[in-house]
């Protein structure tokens, strides 16, 4: 180690020399060349500090530029545009490979642009029109309040969104409570079961029809079947069921706060709701643990298992056949899921079953037998007790009978429809997995023909490019190699919630001051106050949770649900009132705060923290 002695000297520059050039043209060019070499070495844009002495340049420091983000692809009209991140709404801010981007673009009707391996929605037209602006801002505020605040700043500033003459940029949202709630759908509990059955039947037809397709016929069949996927996703009855549950949840929270002074009552009402296949997925893995728990030899094997074909050796162990059947039954129902599942290229649980091992072992360690049924029943009792308590208090109010009747009807709507909120994505991901399996078989043929180096080369092509490769039996591998390198760069970037066509990143903020000193602010999405050990986990495969831990992570999509059964509370960097983590946290009765910026760096693994899911903040103890 060398001792470094630093001396700083400040000199006043004469006013007549303050605007003269310091560097020669040759020195400027040399400095630019050095910058390019440094950027190439690190593989991403760099913030470089330099000094010059006696004509020699010295690099003092170089670090990645974390705020520099590529501008979304331009629209054709050349006008100023404003874009919002799709990933923040979908609870998946990682980059997506080209084939994954292509499939998502084929699925959604939203006007999207690509940038940095992510998708951004062009919201310029909807913000420019007074008729659509208020409703959109309310909707996005429920989903991601920091996006709403950033958009509000853009609109009020007036230099990106062009308003019509006399248009008022932002109108305040009036809080009006009423005993009338207008549902978008009949309050019939059989509707959800029918929607789910029709979707599952369609998936079974897809499995049968795709089995004999190959070559161009396969690619064209997938395009055709995606019309069926979109028909199911955007079915008016399906949309009405989801929006009714969301609107009923908001009405119940706002109205009970106004009438009774009680916050977030829908959190308790939503617990153990029927037809939530995502929360059922978490409980089902607890049942898998119940099967394995009596067999120490199987548990020891799972603790050491590394091979991706570990299931093949299970039958040789005492209890192995039972364990194998339980795991395979689980994979048959949920094996198409994985972290980042909206990207069709991501490795599914069915493709890498070892992903489930830490969660199974955690359930064996942290729970007694039959815990899943007890957990569900406890949530159901909480929901029933909350409804009874609300009715008793409402009936004592002026006009209490009418208020109680209206509230009872809204609670019934929530119970009947809130569980379905998670199902359409399940159907989409299931179809994606079927497409992927068929395409991988086609890619294997291309590998055998020497056209691709490996099957995964297809992940770096758009769907249309892949179709062209199948048609021509030719591929310039330099394209896939280049995109692999670009993807590595995209992984280092932090996507903004809001960005303009000029590349300006707009950051939203929470406008709240009634918080404890040094509290870390977020959005309250599931009520309760808990204290515990913070476990900062960025990769669910590395999760080692103890009962009572509080999970701190960047985002959670449905694949994280099995971890929720072991934790005491949840903090995420991304999310809103109706995003996945919030919905499942409420169903499991977990206090949760989402939208906590930089939570995974501001909170250290192992720290004792307190989270307040009622008021939306975190305290480090």
Classify residue 19 as exposed, middle or buried by CB count within 10 Å of its CB (0-12, 13-18, 19+): exposed
The residues pairing with 529 across neighbouring beta strands, listed in sequence order, are 612
Nearest to 422 by CA among 221, 583, 212, 268: 583
The per-residue b/e assignment along 528-555, b for 16 or more CB within 10 angstroms, e otherwise, is: bebebebbbbeebeebebeeebbbbbbb
Report long-range pairs for 137-140 (Cβ below 8 Å, ≥24 apart).
Answer: 137/170, 138/173, 140/84
Instruction: Round to whole Å and give the CA distance between 548 and 539.
Output: 19
580 catalytically annotated: yes
With tokens 């994985």, the residue in question is 338
Task: Determine the Cα angle at 262 with ends 260 and 263, to 5°.
Answer: 145
Classify residue 240 as exposed, middle or buried by CB count within 10 Å of its CB (0-12, 13-18, 19+): middle
| Token output for 153 | 């700043």
Instruction: Round to whole Å and give the CA distance between 585 and 271.
Output: 9
Residue 194: count other Cβ atoms within 10 Å of its Cβ. Answer: 11
Positive or negative CA dihedral for 276, 278, 283, 285? positive
Q: Rounded to whole angstroms, what are the CA distances from 468 to 216, 457, 471? A: 9, 14, 5
Classify residue 372 as exposed, middle or buried by CB count within 10 Å of its CB (0-12, 13-18, 19+): buried
Nearest to 194 by CA among 232, 229, 248, 243: 232
Classify residue 577 as exposed, middle or buried by CB count within 10 Å of its CB (0-12, 13-18, 19+): buried
Contact 225, 179 (CB under 8 A): no
Residue 186: count other Cβ atoms within 10 Å of its Cβ. Answer: 12
The set of catalytic residues is: 580
């Amino acid at each position: 180690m060398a001792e470094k002695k630093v001396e700083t000297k400040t000199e006043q520059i004469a006013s007549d020399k303050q605007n003269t050039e310091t560097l020669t043209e040759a020195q400027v060019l040399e400095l630019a060349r050095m910058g390019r070499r440094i950027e190439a070495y690190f593989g991403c844009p760099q913030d470089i500090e330099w000094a010059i002495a006696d004509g020699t340049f010295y690099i003092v420091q170089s670090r990645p530029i974390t705020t520099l983000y590529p501008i979304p692809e331009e629209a054709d009209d050349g006008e100023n545009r404003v874009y919002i991140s799709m990933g923040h709404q979908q609870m998946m801010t990682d980059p997506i490979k080209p084939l994954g981007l292509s499939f998502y673009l084929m699925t959604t009707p939203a006007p999207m642009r690509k940038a940095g391996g992510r998708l951004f929605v062009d919201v310029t037209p909807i913000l420019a029109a007074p008729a659509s602006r208020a409703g959109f801002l309310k909707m996005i505020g429920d989903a991601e309040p920091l996006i709403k605040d950033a958009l509000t700043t853009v609109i009020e500033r007036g230099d990106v969104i062009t308003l019509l003459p006399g248009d008022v940029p932002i109108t305040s949202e009036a809080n009006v409570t009423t005993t009338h709630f207008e549902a978008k759908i009949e309050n019939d509990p059989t509707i959800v079961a029918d929607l789910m059955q029709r979707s599952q039947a369609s998936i079974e037809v897809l499995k049968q029809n795709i089995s004999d397709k190959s070559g161009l016929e396969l690619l064209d069949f997938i395009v055709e079947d995606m019309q069926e996927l979109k028909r199911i996703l955007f079915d008016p009855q399906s949309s009405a069921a989801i929006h009714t549950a969301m609107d009923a949840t908001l009405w119940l929270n706002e109205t009970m706060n106004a009438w009774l002074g009680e916050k977030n009552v829908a959190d308790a009402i939503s617990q153990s709701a029927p037809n939530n296949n995502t929360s059922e997925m978490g409980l089902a893995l607890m049942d898998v643990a119940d099967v394995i728990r009596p067999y120490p030899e199987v548990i020891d094997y799972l603790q050491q298992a590394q091979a991706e074909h570990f299931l093949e050796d299970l039958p040789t162990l005492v209890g192995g056949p039972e364990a194998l059947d339980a795991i395979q039954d689980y994979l048959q129902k949920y094996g198409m899921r994985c972290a980042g599942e909206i990207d069709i290229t991501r490795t599914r649980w069915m493709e890498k079953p070892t992903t489930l091992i830490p969660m199974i072992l955690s359930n064996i360690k942290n729970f007694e037998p039959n815990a899943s049924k007890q957990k569900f029943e406890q949530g159901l009792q909480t929901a029933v007790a909350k409804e009874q308590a609300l009715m008793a208090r409402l009936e004592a109010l002026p006009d209490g009978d009418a208020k109680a009747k209206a509230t009872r009807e809204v609670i019934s709507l929530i119970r009947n429809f809130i569980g379905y909120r998670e199902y359409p994505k399940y159907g989409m991901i299931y179809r994606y997995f079927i497409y992927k399996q068929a395409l991988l078989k086609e890619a294997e043929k291309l590998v055998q023909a020497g056209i691709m180096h490996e099957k995964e080369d297809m992940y770096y092509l758009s769907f249309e490019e892949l179709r062209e490769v199948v048609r021509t039996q030719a591929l310039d591998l330099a394209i896939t190699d280049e995109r692999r390198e670009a993807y590595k760069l995209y992984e280092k970037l932090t996507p903004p919630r809001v960005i303009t066509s000029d590349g300006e990143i707009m950051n939203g903020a929470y406008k709240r001051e009634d918080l404890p000193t040094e509290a870390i602010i977020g959005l309250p999405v599931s009520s309760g106050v808990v204290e515990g050990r913070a476990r900062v986990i960025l990769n669910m495969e590395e999760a080692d949770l103890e009962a009572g831990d509080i999970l701190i992570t960047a985002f959670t999509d449905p694949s994280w649900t099995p971890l929720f059964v072991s934790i005491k509370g949840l903090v995420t960097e991304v999310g809103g009132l109706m995003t996945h983590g919030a919905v499942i946290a409420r169903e499991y009765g977990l206090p949760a705060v989402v939208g906590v910026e930089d939570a995974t760096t501001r909170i250290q693994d192992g720290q004792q923290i307190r989270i307040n899911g009622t008021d939306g903040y975190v305290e480090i103890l």
